[in-house]
Amino acid sequence: MDSISLRFTGAIIISLVVAFALSLLPLREEWLLWRPEWVALTLIHWGLFLPKKASLFLAWFVGLLVDAIHGSIMGQHAFGFIIVMLMTLRIRPRILAESFFHQMFLLFLVLGTYLLVNLWILGVTGNSPEGWGYWITVLTSMAVWPIYTWFLRVFHSKKKSF
């Protein structure tokens, strides 16, 4: 895994722009609960495969952009994304990033914590969602993870070992 590098300089930025575009696509009201957490998935991917390029500052900045775009409380997503990146970077050495089941466990743990933090902030402000539908996004994010991470590997290049 250490033999992975970026294909070009702005690869992480472009992948985050794609994640923003996917998270802003208009959906029908009944499909909104099923929308995966694209930005969090992108941060997890870069934290797993290129931990030296992914940083807490990047997660914080991206979170502030998400807060501004969605009109949520300033710092809500920034705090959540910092936790996502911190957990990914801390758990990464203990798992095999190439193992599908380890990745699924990491996704469940990290996205569940991210949603729990957001739920806590929404509850404190009096905007907590009704019912269990809030947690569906963890399942849909886990379902799209194999395809999405395959797509993000377009931005990788293998270092040649001599």
CB-based contact 111:83 (threshold 8 Å)? no
Query: Rounded mean pLDDT of the chain?
Result: 89
Q: How many residues does the chain have?
A: 162
pLDDT confidence band for 54 (50 / 70 / 90): confident
pLDDT in tens, 88-136: 999 888 877 678 888 899 899 999 999 999 999 999 988 888 888 889 9
- pLDDT grade for 77, boundaries at 50, 70 and 90: very high
Give SS3 for 54. coil
The domain limits of the chain are 4-158
Tokens 């300089």 locate to 9
Please give the CATH topology (third level) of the domain spanning 4-158: Arp2/3 complex 21 kDa subunit ARPC3 (1.10.1760)
* Distance from the first to the final alpha carbon of the chain: 16
pLDDT higher than 70, residue 161 = no
